[in-house]
Amino acid sequence: MYMDTIAAISTPMGEGAIAIVRLSGDKAVEIADRVFRAPNNKQLAQQTTHTIHYGHLIEPKTDEVVEEVMLSLMRAPRTFTREDVVEINCHGGLTSVNRVLKLVLTNGARLAEPGEFTKRAFLNGRIDLSQAEAVMDLIRAKTDRAMNVALNQMDGKLSRLIGDLRQALLETLAQVEVNIDYPEYDDVEEMTVPVLLEKCGWVSQEIDKLLQTSSQGKILREGLSTVILGRPNVGKSSLLNSLVQENKAIVTDIAGTTRDIIEEYVNVRGVPLRLVDTAGIRETEDIVERIGVERSRQVLREADLILFMVNGAEPLGDEDRRLFETIEAMDYIVVVNKTDLPQQIDMNEVQVLAGNHRIVTTSLLEEQGVIELEEAIAALFFEGNVESGDLTYVSNARHIALLHQAKEAVEEAIHGAEAGVPVDMVQIDVTRTWEILGEIIGDTVQESLINQLFSQFCLGK
């Protein structure tokens, strides 16, 4: 397949030690040769692959020096895109890197679309679709655990498992076809209902195993939407600052100081939290505070986890009790704050209202109890299983949805076979399962979906 030569800046914009402009395509080396001058005038076209060369970039028409660079030469097929790749390492800085990019674009390269380098790696068979999506997961990983999940997927762990499932289904389909088309051959293994049930049952069990890890995998990939909830002046902003370890929120003794929601990402024991500090939920005549309270109610409805704070230096109020009722069906941890002050709260009542939910006591002023809260958050969602290195975590929402569809299709095949439906009819559901699993790795996916997925990538990747 012919593809033109693309170029893009592959490092973040801004000041830095170096920046990289990447070229990929059949004419990558030719374009680089037009603008690169080495001290000994050597031509890149004559150099061996996977070598690095010092020299200057020049404007061919005027011989004006544009930049001093180190240029990496990598020839197909031993590259990420399986095309010739040239990476130009120049000085970091907006002016420098943009001059280099402009130079290669005016000498034959085209500006790459977002994710086009990874898309070419997929189209050229270097990686499958699930591995390509893992590239973005790796870039966006906010914790070491999330990064390890992405690395496993990039290494093809999920792809190999999906491939094994599809191969088992393909063998089943092949046996069905042989028995339908050539029933007169006695030496062909007869596709009996027990054999079909065994194969489909195994596929169903393996899909179940993947789906069991999906909730944890999705948390690692996307983070938990975590809302800090409570009456005004119970210490919500202080808790946000303690978890973020930075003064992000204004803290005062005045109730209603937080007028709007404040969002921050924080890594808590390997759990990425999208932490939301809300305006204290209460009835108020203040127009601005009322808007903040309404926004707090909205994010509360969308939350995965609630950190519900109460003031240990005061008795529980009616507003506290109403908030307990509001979050009754949600995942939450009760944080009893201000334990450095004389205790006025009835802990027995808190325990009754909280039921089976975890209760943690803190004194954020004296920085006590935060470690116990972090442990409670990690235990609530991972239960110690996330460290298992032999598990394949499914973290992508698209993959999870397709696995649910595949599970439904293979169950239809099993139910049909058990009900005595003719094998050639059951074959339709088996084929559908095979096709759905193929969408995960890109074997049976539509071009429009491929374009949409890669358009979400960053430029230069």
Closest CA to 386 of 224, 215, 227: 215
Count of residues for the chain?
461
Chain position carrying tokens 């004559």 = 46
Res. 261: pLDDT tops 60: no
- pLDDT level of residue 385 (50, 70, 90 thresholds): very low
Cβ 229 vs Cβ 308: under 8 Å? yes
Strands 36-37 vs 18-24: parallel, antiparallel or unpaired: unpaired
58-102: per-residue pLDDT in tens?
999 899 999 999 999 999 999 999 999 999 999 988 899 999 999
42-54: per-residue pLDDT in tens?
899 999 999 999 9
Is 425 or 30 the better-scoring residue by pLDDT?
A: 30
List the helix and strand counts (H, then E) for the chain: 16, 13
Closest CA to 84 of 39, 139, 34, 22: 22
- pLDDT level of residue 223 (50, 70, 90 thresholds): confident
Assess whether the region 6-112 and the region 224-382 belong to the same CATH fold. Answer: no
Q: What is the average pLDDT score of the chain?
A: 81
pTM score, whole prediction = 0.64
Indicate the CATH number for domain 132-213+393-454: 1.20.120.430
Q: Between the ranges 17-31, 261-275, 351-365, where is the mean pLDDT highest?
A: 17-31
Take residue 214 and report the two structure tokens written for it: 């999906």
Domain ranges for the chain, please list them. 6-112, 132-213+393-454, 224-382
Indicate the CATH number for domain 224-382: 3.40.50.300
State the DSSP code for 363.
B
The CATH architecture one would assign to domain 6-112 is 2-Layer Sandwich (3.30)
Is 419 or 246 the better-scoring residue by pLDDT?
A: 419
Take residue 394 and report the two structure tokens written for it: 């499914």
Res. 201: pLDDT tops 80: yes
Q: What is the model's pLDDT at position 100?
A: 95
Question: Whole-angstrom Cα distance, residue 153 to residue 328?
Answer: 37
**Strands, sheet with 305-311, edge to edge from the N-terminal-most edge strand:** 262-268, 271-277, 224-230, 305-311, 332-337, 359-361
Cβ 28 vs Cβ 72: under 8 Å? no
Take residue 176 and report the two structure tokens written for it: 């069905």
